[in-house]
Structure 1
């Protein structure tokens, strides 16, 4: 990219980010005016709710990798095939609780807190959340668990990482399961070529700004979770106690900047416009489970991934939202079981 083109693109992207930043500030201030000073209060939560300590989900543990200490929850027999779960934004290991209970009988299930999330370490530098580093976390974790490979199951941002791991480190992934996370190449192409997806991805531009994203989510006692974990009828898809689990985790000091830094580091100007180098074709058998009611991602992303995967199965979940593994548990677990049982 020439210097002139870079400066023009940088100015345009910065302008879009400022537009969404200004819109966000005005929206928050309007809601503050409407709701009063309590709107900026986040309730103090000193103790985790019982659901986060439920032994039915598994045992809590830590592993020190080369440059990071990661927290994870494990369940099942360690002699059985490793099934590694990687969460999205804004989540943590708990988003996989239903799948961990379901598959602990047949697999050694491990759900981690990615770096910067939950009880894992939270590096301060934005550069510590580069996609190359995030991939190596997964590869190193598999080795630290004394396995050569795993069944890799991922959602949202975890899916971004898992797509890359399966392409760049094929020896580590026996089978790949992706939930509501587009193949990186198709997402870049769609973002540049589809006004609909561009508008749906407005938050990516907002997240390029400092302070404002963190400020906006710390409103009305972390109401963001009341808004995202709902079904097509705007009813909560998780229990009140589970909702408290999310609010407890993300009400802790420094809980938001590291997850948002995933966007700041990896959706840079050059990557947005030119795209990164093409990923190798994925050889591992791959399943995409897609909630059809995802408001942030186009429904055609699963089929667009076919040229990038040798052996792809796609399962749509009617009325499933972006957080499909929590929204439509029975359907997701059935698709997972069918895929895992295939030779």
Structure 2
């Protein structure tokens, strides 16, 4: 695998860069980017996992989240930061992919800064959460506020389609002290989760997206199914929707080869 360069954009937002090609794919990390401490080793691990679902030899930049945000934490402000990063550090217009939480951020980037994005991929994501996803979000916020980090992590022990993967995650959660020690700051986790409550991407915002768009996820996604991916595809002109039958929020892990194939064909 190519060497991984880590650093900070805007002096505060962690990133990991793989490869040297100027036409890099920019990827906004999922919620683990603020749930866990953004140590270089953690970002490198996320980058290696990401490599499994991307075309061979593709250069990419994985962008995470400010671990100690000073400004108001909102989807709009995160989108503003990504647009600034693209303008000052990367090639514009960009090929932008958002994973899960990062996909909602990416939607905001493409909607409010359309000149910054040429191609948009929403992976296991949409422009907003489903009703079930919002219920899960409320539980996560309460666990984070109460500093019940083990319960917060257990929220993800049912998201795989394959039962043995859920059991494996539960086994890892038995070593809770080690995992909790890797968690990010409680106040930051709460602020990022609550920011999703105030996400207000409208149909007009979706119509403002000019980037070629691919929406790719599982039919039974626990956060973004129930018509949310379909609604995003309907609202974004010319968007391509690929729903993997029977798959859940962890489709990128459980169907890595299919996800890679669809991303490669789109790019």
TM-score class, shorter-chain normalisation, is 0.7 to 0.9
Structure 1 equivalent of residue 48 of structure 2: 97
1:199 Cα shift?
4.7
For residues 86-125 of structure 1, the aligned pairs below 5 Å read 86-91=28-33, 93=43, 94-95=45-46, 97-100=48-51, 103=54, 105-116=56-67, 122-123=68-69
1:322 Cα shift?
0.8
Return the match for 2:149 from 215, 218, 224: 218
**In 2, distance between residues paired with 1:91 and 1:300?**
26
1:69 Cα shift?
1.2
1:304 Cα shift?
1.4
**In 1, distance between residues paired with 2:119 and 2:219?**
23
Question: Does 2:27 match 1:85?
Answer: yes
Structure 1 equivalent of residue 16 of structure 2: 73
Which secondary structure does the structure 2 equivalent of 1:84 belong to? Answer: strand
1:107 Cα shift?
3.3
In the superposition, the TM-score normalised over structure 2's length comes to: 0.78
**In 1, distance between residues paired with 2:165 and 2:231?**
31
Aligned length: 256
**In 1, distance between residues paired with 2:23 and 2:173?**
31
Question: Does 2:235 match 1:291?
Answer: no
Quick check: which has more Rg, 1 or 2?
A: 1
1:288 Cα shift?
0.6
For the Cα contact (< 8 Å) 1:62–1:69, is it kept in 2? no
Structure 1 equivalent of residue 192 of structure 2: 262
**In 2, distance between residues paired with 1:243 and 1:83?**
33
Return the match for 1:336 from 241, 263, 266: 263
- When residues 198 and 64 of structure 1 are mapped into structure 2, their CA distance, relative to the original with a 3 A threshold, is closer
**In 2, distance between residues paired with 1:248 and 1:304?**
40
For residues 129-148 of structure 1, the aligned pairs below 5 Å read 129-148=73-92
- When residues 208 and 102 of structure 1 are mapped into structure 2, their CA distance, relative to the original with a 3 A threshold, is closer
Question: Does 2:156 match 1:231?
Answer: no
Return the match for 2:182 from 220, 229, 252: 252
- When residues 310 and 90 of structure 1 are mapped into structure 2, their CA distance, relative to the original with a 3 A threshold, is same
In the superposition, the TM-score normalised over structure 1's length comes to: 0.63
1:236 Cα shift?
4.5
Q: Deviations over 1:191-230 (max 9, x none)?
A: xxxxxx5355223334565xx424464237x752771563
Structure 1, unpaired ranges of 5+:
1-55, 117-121, 188-196
- When residues 108 and 317 of structure 1 are mapped into structure 2, their CA distance, relative to the original with a 3 A threshold, is same
Return the match for 1:198 from 116, 126, 131: 131
Structure 1 equivalent of residue 114 of structure 2: 170
For the Cα contact (< 8 Å) 2:127–2:228, is it kept in 1? yes
- When residues 59 and 228 of structure 1 are mapped into structure 2, their CA distance, relative to the original with a 3 A threshold, is farther
Which secondary structure does the structure 1 equivalent of 2:95 belong to? Answer: strand
Which secondary structure does the structure 2 equivalent of 1:219 belong to? Answer: helix
